[in-house]
Amino acid sequence: MPEADLELITNAAQHASEIALKYWQTDLAVEHKDGGSPVSEADHAVDDFLRTALLAARPDYGWLSEETEDNDRRLGHDMIFVVDPIDGTRSYIAGQATWAISIAVVRGGQPTAGVVLLPARDKMYSAASGHGAKMNGTPIRTGTISDPDGATVLAPKASLDGRWWSGAVPAVRQHWRPSLAYRFCLVAEARYDAVLTLKDAWEWDIAAGTLIAAEAGARVSDRHGKPLCFNSSDARARGVFAAAPPLHEKLMRRYLGQ
């Protein structure tokens, strides 16, 4: 089943990318949600396409997407789609290339298939549970660095503020990418060593990316070191840490002061 779902969401992401690229670098209509986050007509167009196509193929699955009004019906489904039509909307609106279409299938609270497609960068990351992770069809693995000091970490600068760390803040080399889903993929292919964010993370931002990282060998947890569980009532994770297991363990010890 995970492989069949992966094929379905891969094909859907490829078709959705054609829609997104038609709007990209054009004079977009843009609105702002409560809280100030932008949403474009392209976000809605991609969301509409994916919701129609995916639920037609799997009518018994539930649906959770950043651009679809949420309701508690999804909580009654064991299997759901978790979707971010365009992750990195600000980058997309600005005409930049770092934005992604993120689609996951979640079963019993755990992602079983995931795709993160960056159409403007011609990169497709994918994973099915128990089958490893790939980038454009080639298997990928996380790196082997275990020392937090000197590790390359994709994180907001605020997450490395000493007031949030019970132990010594690691002397990491901090980097940033607009798409959170893409950050997990960069760790999965060993271009960076870790991803961390201390603030709550929406499930649509992380479901596909965390599966890809985990299938590439990373350990993924919330900021307390606990496993992630998806399709929660508020659709949020309590922060995220993702890195190769030895590095993850040492980062968590520093954060928790153990």
The letter for the amino acid at 134 is K
Could you tell me if 165 and 104 lie in one domain?
Answer: no
Specify the residue for token string 């969401």: 9
Could you tell me if 92 and 186 lie in one domain?
Answer: no
Mean pLDDT for the stretch of residues 101-123: 98
Could you tell me if 105 and 158 lie in one domain?
Answer: no
Would you say residue 145 lies in a domain? no
Domain coverage including residue 170: 152-256
Nearest to 95 by CA among 44, 28, 37: 28
Would you say residue 144 lies in a domain? no
Could you tell me if 31 and 109 lie in one domain?
Answer: yes
- The CATH number of the domain holding residue 203 is 3.40.190.80
pLDDT at 35: 80
**How many CB atoms are located within 10 Å of the residue 246 CB?**
13
The pTM for the full model equals: 0.97
Structure token digits, residue 222: 């919330």
Could you tell me if 185 and 104 lie in one domain?
Answer: no
pLDDT at 98: 97
Q: Compute φ and ψ for 212, nearest 5 degrees.
A: -60, -45
Dihedral class, residue 108 (left if φ above 0, else alpha if ψ from -120 to 50, else beta): left
Would you say residue 146 lies in a domain? no
Under a CB-based contact definition with an 8 Å cutoff, are residues 251 and 241 in contact?
Answer: yes
Could you tell me if 125 and 103 lie in one domain?
Answer: yes
Q: How confident is the model at residue 36 (pLDDT cuts 50, 70, 90)?
A: confident
Mean pLDDT for the stretch of residues 156-168: 95
| Distance between CA atoms of residues 231 and 249, nearest Å | 26
pLDDT at 43: 97
| Distance between CA atoms of residues 236 and 204, nearest Å | 9
Residue spans of beta strands (DSSP E) within the chain: 30-32, 38-40, 62-65, 79-87, 100-107, 110-118, 123-128, 133-135, 138-140, 152-154, 173-175, 194-197, 201-202, 219-221, 236-237, 240-243
pLDDT tens digits for 4-18?
999 999 999 999 999
Mean pLDDT for the stretch of residues 107-120: 98
**How many CB atoms are located within 10 Å of the residue 240 CB?**
25
**What percent of the chain clears pLDDT 70, i.e. is strictly above it?**
100
Q: How confident is the model at residue 33 (pLDDT cuts 50, 70, 90)?
A: confident
Q: How confident is the model at residue 258 (pLDDT cuts 50, 70, 90)?
A: confident
Nearest to 230 by CA among 145, 76, 108: 108
| Distance between CA atoms of residues 73 and 160, nearest Å | 37
Could you tell me if 114 and 167 lie in one domain?
Answer: no
Report CA torsion sign: 93, 94, 95, 99: negative
* Domain boundary residue, one of 87, 117, 139: 139
Number of independent structural domains in the chain: 2
| Distance between CA atoms of residues 38 and 66, nearest Å | 12
Mean pLDDT for the stretch of residues 169-184: 97
pLDDT, mean over the chain: 97
| Distance between CA atoms of residues 176 and 255, nearest Å | 20
Would you say residue 73 lies in a domain? yes
Would you say residue 100 lies in a domain? yes
- The CATH number of the domain holding residue 133 is 3.30.540.10
Mean pLDDT for the stretch of residues 95-111: 98
Could you tell me if 122 and 14 lie in one domain?
Answer: yes
Lowest mean pLDDT among 27-41, 55-69, 122-136, 163-177: 27-41
pLDDT at 155: 97
* Domain boundary residue, one of 139, 163, 193: 139
The letter for the amino acid at 93 is I
Could you tell me if 172 and 217 lie in one domain?
Answer: yes
pLDDT at 253: 96
End-to-end Cα, the chain, rounded Å: 40
pLDDT at 72: 93
pLDDT at 209 over 80: yes
Mean pLDDT for the stretch of residues 116-130: 98
pLDDT at 230 over 90: yes
Q: How confident is the model at residue 189 (pLDDT cuts 50, 70, 90)?
A: very high
